[in-house]
A and B are shown apart, each in its own frame.
Chain A
């Protein structure tokens, strides 16, 4: 069975701090890894990663995948209170055409003033 583990489960930081969120996975026939931000109900898409070592970046957020060590990190620099959310990592398999997202339990981030 596919397994996605995120750490830490939760953390509290101050505005301006840099945070690193971790996602490790065990999945047969890995295809891709996706990051989402969930503030209230709906997860919003951040990144999709398929290749090792290629950083994806969007503003203060960046992410990278290591397919050898089976993990990904999500970095947020100069954090703001608006970054407070649950960050979800999900993986897909080649078999099944990448349709099924298997999610981790998420990291709850709180950014305080």
Chain B
């Protein structure tokens, strides 16, 4: 399985500010993804992080609110911009290896609370 690290593990932020979450994966990973899990809900895909180009966003998520970078194969960041209490969630990074497998491995997650 892939090794994925994520930081910060948790943060408490003020309304209107932005937070950048970092994700580092090992070399087995070829694709990286960002998910959100709102309280009491399941995981929802925000976007696919593409190396060296703009991320591919799912319906309901936009670049201005969730800018994503992936400057190289093993590192990605997700920024939650202009935060409101509704952005309080767990944010998870995942990675998928080569070879056609569908299995994604998840990082430890970032628990964000917006006051």
Listed in ascending order, the chain A residues whose CB lies under 8 Å from chain B are: 31-32, 34, 36, 40-45, 48, 88, 90, 92, 98-106
Is B28 positioned at the interface, with any CB of A under 8 Å from its CB? no
Contacts A41-B92, A42-B109 known; A48 to B42 CB distance under 8 Å?
A: no
The answer to whether A48 and B103 touch across the interface, beta carbons within 8 angstroms, is yes
Cα distance A99–B58 in the bound complex, in angstroms: 12
Give the most central of A32, A42, A100: most B CB within 10 Å: A42
Known: A42-B109, A103-B42, A103-B43. 20 other contacts (CB 8 A): A34-B102, A41-B109, A43-B43, A43-B106, A45-B1, A45-B104, A45-B105, A48-B101, A48-B103, A88-B42, A90-B43, A98-B100, A98-B101, A99-B96, A100-B45, A100-B58, A102-B45, A103-B44, A105-B42, A106-B42
Q: Which one of B33, B44, B100, B106 lies within 8 Å of A42 (CB-CB)?
A: B106
The answer to whether B43 and A34 touch across the interface, beta carbons within 8 angstroms, is no
Main secondary structure of the interface of B (DSSP, over half): strand
Cα distance A104–B41 in the bound complex, in angstroms: 9
Q: How far is the CB of A89 from chain B (nearest CB, A)?
A: 9
Inter-chain CB contacts under 8 Å: number: 54
Is B31 positioned at the interface, with any CB of A under 8 Å from its CB? yes
Cα distance A32–B92 in the bound complex, in angstroms: 21
Listed in ascending order, the chain B residues whose CB lies under 8 Å from chain A are: 1, 31, 33, 41-45, 48, 58, 90, 92, 96, 100-109, 111
Of chain A, the residue at the smallest CB distance from B2 is A45
Q: Which residues of B contact A88 (CB under 8 A)?
A: 42-43
The answer to whether A101 and B43 touch across the interface, beta carbons within 8 angstroms, is yes
The 9 closest A-B CB pairs, nearest first, are A41-B109, A98-B102, A103-B42, A32-B102, A103-B43, A105-B42, A42-B106, A42-B108, A92-B102
Q: How far is the CB of A109 from chain B (nearest CB, A)?
A: 15
Main secondary structure of the interface of A (DSSP, over half): strand
A–B complex contacts, Cβ < 8 Å, 15 sampled: A34-B104, A41-B92, A41-B108, A41-B111, A42-B106, A42-B108, A42-B109, A45-B1, A45-B104, A45-B105, A48-B103, A88-B42, A92-B102, A101-B104, A102-B45
